[in-house]
Amino acid sequence: MSEMKLFSGNSNHEFAESIAKHIGQPLGDINVGRFNNEDEVQVEYKENLRGADVYLIQSTCPPANENWMELLVMIDAARRASAQRITAVIPYYSYARQDRKDRPRVPITAKLVANLLATAGANRVLTMDLHAEQIQGFFDIPLDHLMAIPSFAKEMESRKIGTLAVATADTGGIKAAWDFADRLKVPLAIVDKRRYGPKVTKVMHVIGEVAGYDVVIPDDMITTGSTLSEAAVALRGHGAKDIYACITHPVFLETAVENLGKAPIKEIIVTDTIPLNKVAQAVKGPKITVLSVAPLFSEAIKRIHQESSVSDLLK
């Protein structure tokens, strides 16, 4: 079996360190900097990669373009250093919302960056909670898709909340919410909203019984917080008690401060696929709790290295 080597870009070094700690080996020696202090990414591996099984850990969170470019250059450098296999470990895969041609003359950027990964020399991709599951079909190389819901379900079970229900923030998350509700053995409600533009949504109906229940809302990412806050307001208006949110990727744009600050949400539980930024730290209202998925990624990496099943981790 070839030697496993782990390397990290600059986007979420603490998460990469946590993965390495759980695997039981240090991160490899790499320099990911800028050429002559300019904007050009420069990468240099400080150790031999010939014949190695290489894992490059890099979330493509903001600044997304810089982080994507770092990852692509890291892949190219590893390929040219004769690595046997290169796995791009991308905890958060940005551009995933640009997954279809819904208007004339627009790109399908989620497919474009999938092509770029393969062209740069990646042999495999490991990621978590893509915005749409069909994005897996954009890849011409193997992709392992982890989910945060098992970890969230375990966390909510530990709270021992007697009257819990699961609700979707919109109809697009029904499949994941069904899985969440099934794992917890609790009822499911659906918040039906309509989108009238990139930043304008309106809740139309709440389908299902939430009166008297504590409600948890799962979703893959939080950006402006408008969808989550509107769903929480609608659920509270239909009699829900405490409202929790379980969000995989805490992107947090500036407008989230205002949107979430006035939302009736008790707690937002997020993972560490993205480091919490200053916006998240400025949110006044709901408590923000970080649940680490580094142990899950470390186990997936070990299974890929050992050529064993990764899908078992979803159970």
Q: Which residues are catalytic?
A: 193
Query: Per-residue DSSP letters for the chain?
Result: -PPEEEEE-SS-HHHHHHHHHHHTSPPP-EEEEEGGGSSSEEEEESS--TT-EEEEE----SSHHHHHHHHHHHHHHHHHTT-SEEEEEESS-TTTT--S--STT---HHHHHHHHHHHHT-SEEEEE--SSGGGGGG-SS-EEEE-SHHHHHHHHHHHT-SSEEEEESSGGGHHHHHHHHHHHT--EEEEEEEEEETTEEEEEEEES--TT-EEEEEEEEESSSHHHHHHHHHHHHTT--SEEEEEEEE---TTHHHHHHTS--SEEEEESSS---HHHHH--SSEEEEE--HHHHHHHHHHHHTT--SGGGG-
